[in-house]
Structure 1
Amino acid sequence: MKFKEWKPLYQEIIDYLNINQKKDKKARDLLQQKITPINLKELKNKINNKILVYGNSPNLKEEIRANEPNITKISADSATKHLLENNIIPNIIVTDLDGDIDSIKEAKNKKATIIVHSHGDNIQEIKNNIQALNPVIGTTQTKPIKNIYNFGGFTDGDRSVFLAQHFGVKEVELIGFNYEKAKGTKLKKLKIAKKLINYLKNNKEITINHRHQ
């Protein structure tokens, strides 16, 4: 997704959650300074026409299968720990660094590509963790700059789907996604995730299905 298309969606989120856009840009600029960037070709080479995206809802454990198909697996941050516990190594991890960093490091050592997202609330996490995770791909939810991309999306889960769509994926299966089991700000963010995923379903040539829903 081009930033021109994403910008009005982002503005809606800014208004809904009262996001400080200046802090988003500060985090973006910090990430640019801290990362050792990966060429996008490495990412593109990992992506097939069908993708499994793992979220971290309470039903994730019930929906994981022992022998998942041999297709690209994208883990949304905290889901990584559960995947590793089930001997599933994600090909790609999308994270804003608020999940289990040790699990992300372990998956990286097993050849997972790490996509680190910057926003106004994770500036300290970027400072604390990026060096240990490098090299990575950096992303932002505001205007992209050199080596910091914006594929669209807001939460780790829906950003994973936007990433797949950006690289031309035609079919995505969502595992461990639940938009209701939360409270307060978390519930608001899940509502945004659902809305953004529906936006892709309605406006892009991509099929998105939820497992066991």
Structure 2
Amino acid sequence: MRLEEWFELYRQILSDFNFSAEDDVKSARLMHGLGKDKLLDAEALREKIEGRDVVVVGGAVNSEADGEVIITAGKAIVKWMKLSDRTPDVHVTDMEESADLLVSLEENGTLLVLHAHGDNMDRVREVVPRVKSFVGTTQNTPFDRIYNFGGFTDGDRAAIIAKRFGAKKITLHGFDFRAGGIKGKKLSWARKILEKEGLI
């Protein structure tokens, strides 16, 4: 997804949810300030993904999946760890999981992709000081190793990352877009984005 395409969607999302672009910027700058030398170049993702069969694991996962590379998205990691002994290769998240879990994943070889947005500055403050390194992302303007690959929810962002960094094949596993309320609204946007990217 080109950045221009993302920003067209982003403006619609801001309006739909009454989110603050200014708060998104503040959160990204907070992540940058706390992260400093911990912030990885995005090419770390290419080293994990390029030319490989990738399985992206979403929040409705209820079984294991085989793939050369496993990318878990957000709270799906909690279910995945109950289902599989395999540590994911990459974990894409806005940090709703516990900091202890994210630290443990990193210690076991998972590349963390941490996302800053206006509503999770408290999570940025808790998690970033505790991890050793990560790829940082924003949904606003990227800068100095804070990237914007596109994507709204952890799941669609993870799938877009797989595409962006040259996965040979992408399989979505545990993706279910049926829900009510705000969650359903977010999943509707996730589906729209994945369809636009040709990933479903």
Letter in 2 for 1:173: T
Deviations 1:127-166 (A, max 9, x none): 1111112311100001101110000100000000111121
Contact residue 116 and residue 137 of structure 2 kept, 8 A: yes
Question: CA separation in 1, counterparts of 2:132 and 2:33?
Answer: 12
TM-score calculated relative to the size of structure 1: 0.87
Secondary structure (helix, strand or coil) at the match of 1:153 reads coil
Q: Does 1:52 align with 2:55?
A: yes
Question: CA separation in 2, counterparts of 1:187 and 1:27?
Answer: 25
- 1:189 maps to what in 2? 186
Letter in 1 for 2:14: I
Q: How many residues align?
A: 196
- 1:205 maps to what in 2? none
- 1:6 maps to what in 2? 6
Q: Does 1:199 align with 2:196?
A: yes
Question: CA separation in 2, counterparts of 1:195 and 1:42?
Answer: 28
Shift in Å, 1:106 = 1.7
TM-score calculated relative to the size of structure 2: 0.92
Contact residue 25 and residue 142 of structure 1 kept, 8 A: yes
- 2:169 maps to what in 1? 171
Shift in Å, 1:11 = 1.0
Shift in Å, 1:170 = 4.2
Q: Does 1:149 align with 2:152?
A: no
- 1:33 maps to what in 2? 33
Structure 1 consecutive aligned stretches of length 4 or more whose deviation exceeds 4 Å: none
- 1:132 maps to what in 2? 130
Stretches of structure 1 that go unaligned for 5 or more consecutive residues are 202-207
Contact residue 3 and residue 150 of structure 2 kept, 8 A: yes
Question: CA separation in 2, counterparts of 1:171 and 1:200?
Answer: 14
Letter in 2 for 1:16: D
CA RMSD of aligned residues (A): 1.5
Map 1:118-129 onto structure 2 (within 5 A). 118-129=116-127
Shift in Å, 1:72 = 1.1
**Could you tell me the percent identity over the aligned residues?**
31
Q: Does 1:105 align with 2:88?
A: no
Question: CA separation in 1, counterparts of 2:79 and 2:101?
Answer: 9
